[in-house]
Amino acid sequence: MLPQVDEAALTADLFQVARTVWQTMLRRRLARAPDLGDTAPLAAFGTQMFTAWSSLTGAWTGSVHLHCDRESALAFSSWLLNDTREPLRDDDVADCLAELSNVVCGNLKVSLPGPTHIGLPAVVMGEDYRLELPGGRQLVRLAGLVEGLRVDLVVVQQVEV
């Protein structure tokens, strides 16, 4: 039997964690964007996308995802590194987003059934892709805005092996 999760409480915790991460590490305020619709599809962003996710295994198995477009990814990365002197390479941006997804996931795990182990993050970047996790079910999705830049955060639970 799968461990039960209060999705409303998890949504609130996810937002709280993400807000703390953006405020602390990027020194920027993250706000909810209900007008965008928490179920808005990825295609609404445009074509150049980044997706970073970190996985949890153990008493609860699933992953925490971070989706944003290229403009947002570049801004988040330069804020994280506190360095705007030179253009960032794609691998720098990927690394920054991986770190953000890892920190969000690591902090969110206390809101999920435990004990769990956090895995290494992964990043996908490109155009017009769709990320499918076989056996996964989206539990939570929320859209956030940081200085007009959108970032979507998603929690997926592994329901089938």
Q: How far is the CB of 55 from other proteins (least distance, A)?
A: 12
Q: How far is the CB of 69 from other proteins (least distance, A)?
A: 19
Task: Outline where the chain has alpha helix (H).
Answer: 7-25, 70-81, 90-108
Return the closest-CA partner of residue 151 out of 14, 55, 9, 7.
Answer: 14
Closer CB to other proteins, residue 34 or residue 115? Answer: 115
Residue 139, classed as helix, strand or coil, is: strand
Longest dimension (CA), the chain: 52
Q: How far is the CB of 38 from other proteins (least distance, A)?
A: 23
Closer CB to other proteins, residue 104 or residue 143? Answer: 104
Q: How far is the CB of 110 from other proteins (least distance, A)?
A: 5
Closer CB to other proteins, residue 28 or residue 127? Answer: 28
Closer CB to other proteins, residue 40 or residue 88? Answer: 88
Closer CB to other proteins, residue 110 or residue 159? Answer: 110
Residues 141, 103: Cα–Cα separation, whole Å: 17
Residue with tokens 């409480």: 9
Q: Are 71 and 149 in contact (CB under 8 A)?
A: yes
Q: How far is the CB of 80 from other proteins (least distance, A)?
A: 6
Residues of this chain that interact with other proteins (CB under 8 A) are: 20-21, 24-25, 27, 77, 80-82, 92, 95-96, 98-99, 102-103, 105-110, 114-116, 118, 120
C-alpha dist (Å) from residue 135 to 15, 62, 79, 128, 161: 25, 10, 35, 22, 6
